[in-house]
Amino acid sequence: MLGRRVITLPIRLSRLYSLQGSCQQRARSAPYPKRTHNCGSLSARDAGSRVVLAGWILPERKGKAISFFPIKDSHGTTQLIVNHADNPASSSTLSEIPVESTVLIEGTVLLRPSNAKRSDPTGEIDVQVDKVTLLNPATNLPFLPSNPHNLPNEDVRSRHRHLDLRRTALSENIKKRSQVAHLVRNILHTIGFTEVETPVLLRSSPEGAREFLVPTRINTASPTSQEPLFYALQQSPQQPKQLLICSGGVDRYFQIAKCFRDEDGRKDRQPEFTQIDLEMAFVSWSGDEKRTAWKIGGSEVRDVIETLLREIWQQVENVALPPRLRVMTYHDAMTHFGSDKPDTRFGLEITNLTDLLPANGEDEVLECIVVREPEFINASHSFKHDYDVDHITLTEENLQTWLLGSDSARQILSQEDQSIVNDALKIKSGDDVWLTRRSRLPKGGSTVLGKVRLGLAELARFQGEFTPTKDPHFLWITEFPLFTRDDSDKDFLAKGRWSSSHHPFTAPMWEDIPALYQGDIETVRGQHYDLVLNGVEIGGGSVRIHDPLMQDHIFTNILQLSEKEKTPFNQLVRALHCGAPPHGGIALGFDRIMAMLCNTQSIRDVIAFPKTSLGTDLLFKSPAPVTSQVLYEYGIQPRSARLTKL
């Protein structure tokens, strides 16, 4: 019986192969040699060596006597050569194997002639093929990742992300991400931080962005249960990390944390994202007046982050950052650049004209951008917009009247006023002026002229007349308003009430504490700091409130949270009552930082399996419906509906 089995098994296998295609064109499920090198490691010092390579075969370049086949893996590419006369079997086999199939190559390393050498890592050698083994043929490919000049649209590539990741550009991004994560961990461990994993499943709380809810069967075991229970995926580890520091068990915490927010999709947003999360005990709470620009607490956080960034940019980009990164207040950023995350790689600064004109008693300022730089003037002439702004091209005819006749001036001005403004702006014929009004106290994240400024730069860049510098422009923005009514993303929770510009645990500047308690809410500034790189916010944090009475005052009297809305914060307030130390922290957007380091416009290019701009996953087909039985088990579907279906 045993003998019969030994004899008949190969026969059955051979019949199977004959039914489904040639054995040569099937995946190999038998032993094969172990590879000796990867496809990016061979160099001139390996000449004469016998090697075994494994990777994906790329299109053939066929000559009369020799064919060339690149073989690629995640480490690089090596060029194979096959002599038609000396090795016809391998030549024929490689020619018949579909492009992007996985192959095993056995051969000998040869030095290239000096005139054929290239500068890439394997550019000094070829591998002369002795034997080819097909490991797995590639069939019915939706596109060829090895051809970067003929790629399909992003939706197609997202549905086949497993194939898209084979592209060198994406695989290099993923490896660089791993390198930076390793650097971050090493640096933070070196300077005394403890890595702690915090819960992902938390309780829903009104902290700002919309949450993802996770149903649970915990309460469905009770027949008297009426309401389903839900976890919320963490928007950030904000409360857990503060509680760690409040405990006294951890002095400096960090985590490369997964976070989740149900936000509208953008190129720099994902429903699940990663942040480098830090919290520190005993950070300074009041500002140091001797500092030139950093007039808030948390200078220890600033020191750590600047150390981290200097190391990353030096080791990954070979770029030396300055000893100190520039600091700008929110007020100055909004006044001069019209944005709370200004791109300082170009000028086009905004000028406040109100201080040059007679006082009119209005709580508004008149401001303008004067465009005269050659790289922006054509964009200024052709920029199309729907903003409430005056756009004036100056000529000899209107040089002395452009302000007097503008709709934005809204006050009686004299010729002397016009001359004063012209002299201050150094106006001349050929300049373009963009003119509008805004509230004297800056609000929100951008002004009309801030949007115009960015639009002009983007158009000039598209037209090929402006190229931003490649040098990284880092910038700290400080002294934000502590509370806001101008954030539409938060109003779904605030419902017209004040909301926290950062989050409700941010400490006020000590000078503004009297205004906090007197109800002068709009003027209260926070010890909040954002980190901006080339006009993109890559991080944000603050000094936290460690006074439980102040925290309760903000919850109750300013944010006007109900007792039910305050419940998710009870554990934090209790911890503050237990002698919590002054503390503060920050979260850096890891995906955004990596997009900058990889020089890509979309964070999807630095995430292995990203979601689309709509928050869907075309590869795993999520989100997806579940059965009514599952809904019933989680208590989401009413029992009556279930009984009706039964």
pLDDT on residue 497: 87
Residue 58 has pLDDT above 60, yes or no: yes
β-pair type (194-195, 125-136): unpaired
**Average pLDDT over every residue of 23-40:** 87
pTM: 0.89
CB 429 within 8 A of CB 361: no
pLDDT on residue 595: 96
Encoded amino acid at 132, one letter: V
Q: How far apart (Å, rounded) are the C-alpha atoms in residues 421 and 211?
A: 50
End-to-end CA distance of the chain: give it in Å, rounded: 53
| Helices 330-337/448-462 angle, 10° precision | 60
**Average pLDDT over every residue of 426-440:** 93
Over the stretch 299-350, which tens digit does the pLDDT of each residue have? 999 999 999 999 999 999 999 999 999 999 999 999 999 999 999 999 999 9
**Average pLDDT over every residue of 83-105:** 90
**Average pLDDT over every residue of 389-411:** 90
**Average pLDDT over every residue of 276-303:** 87
Q: Return the number of other C-beta atoms located less than 10 Å from residue 233's C-beta.
A: 19
Residue 15: pLDDT band (50, 70, 90) is very low
pLDDT on residue 224: 60
Local structure of 488: helix, strand or coil: coil
Highest-confidence range of 87-96, 258-267, 357-366, 616-625, by mean pLDDT? 616-625
pLDDT on residue 252: 97
**Average pLDDT over every residue of 79-92:** 89
Cα separation values, 61 from 65, 70, 111, 116, 122, Å = 11, 9, 19, 15, 18
Q: How far apart (Å, rounded) are the C-alpha atoms in residues 404 and 410?
A: 9
Q: How far apart (Å, rounded) are the C-alpha atoms in residues 411 and 362?
A: 10
* Of 277, 299, 278, nearest in space to 288 by CA: 299
Residue 598 has pLDDT above 60, yes or no: yes
Over the stretch 336-391, which tens digit does the pLDDT of each residue have? 999 999 999 999 999 999 988 887 767 889 999 999 999 999 999 999 999 999 99
Residue 476: pLDDT band (50, 70, 90) is very high
Place of tokens 């093929």: 129
pLDDT on residue 55: 96
Lowest mean pLDDT among 26-30, 299-303, 339-343, 586-590: 26-30
Residue 205: pLDDT band (50, 70, 90) is confident
Question: Which residues, other chains included, contact 486 with Cβ-Cβ below 8 Å and sequence gap of 6+?
Answer: 443, 444
pLDDT on residue 641: 53
List phi, psi (to 5°) of 554. Answer: -65, -45
| Helices 299-317/590-597 angle, 10° precision | 40
**Average pLDDT over every residue of 245-258:** 96
Return the higher-pLDDT residue of 208 and 66.
Answer: 66
Highest-confidence range of 211-220, 275-284, 610-619, by mean pLDDT? 275-284
Residue 222 has pLDDT above 70, yes or no: no
Lowest mean pLDDT among 97-101, 439-443, 517-521: 439-443
Q: Report DSSP letters for 121-187, one per residue.
A: TTTTEEEEEEEEEEEE---S-SS-TT-TTS---HHHHHHTHHHHTTSHHHHHHHHHHHHHHHHHHHH
**Average pLDDT over every residue of 451-475:** 96
Return the higher-pLDDT residue of 122 and 405.
Answer: 122
Residue 223 has pLDDT above 90, yes or no: no
Residue 3: pLDDT band (50, 70, 90) is very low
Return the CATH number of 44-136, one of 3.40.50.1450, 3.30.70.20, 2.60.40.10, 2.40.50.140.
2.40.50.140
* Of 115, 116, 128, nearest in space to 85 by CA: 128
Q: How far apart (Å, rounded) are the C-alpha atoms in residues 433 and 394?
A: 8
Residue 422 has pLDDT above 60, yes or no: yes
Give percent of the chain with pLDDT exceeding 70.
Answer: 91
Give percent of the chain with pLDDT exceeding 90.
Answer: 74
Cα separation values, 417 from 178, 354, 407, Å = 59, 11, 16
Q: Report DSSP letters for 552-589, one per residue.
A: HHIIIIIS---HHHHGGGHHHHHHHTTTPPPEEEEEEE
Token couple for 430:
């050929």
Lowest mean pLDDT among 16-25, 107-116, 472-481: 16-25
Over the stretch 141-157, which tens digit does the pLDDT of each residue have? 999 998 888 899 999 99
Local structure of 614: helix, strand or coil: coil
Q: How far apart (Å, rounded) are the C-alpha atoms in residues 188 and 169?
A: 29
CB 546 within 8 A of CB 583: yes
pLDDT on residue 225: 60
Q: Across the strands, what pairs with 328?
A: 477
pLDDT on residue 366: 92
**Average pLDDT over every residue of 17-39:** 74
Q: How far apart (Å, rounded) are the C-alpha atoms in residues 526 and 545?
A: 10
Q: How far apart (Å, rounded) are the C-alpha atoms in residues 587 and 502?
A: 12
User: How confident is the prediction for the chain on average, in pLDDT?
Assistant: 89
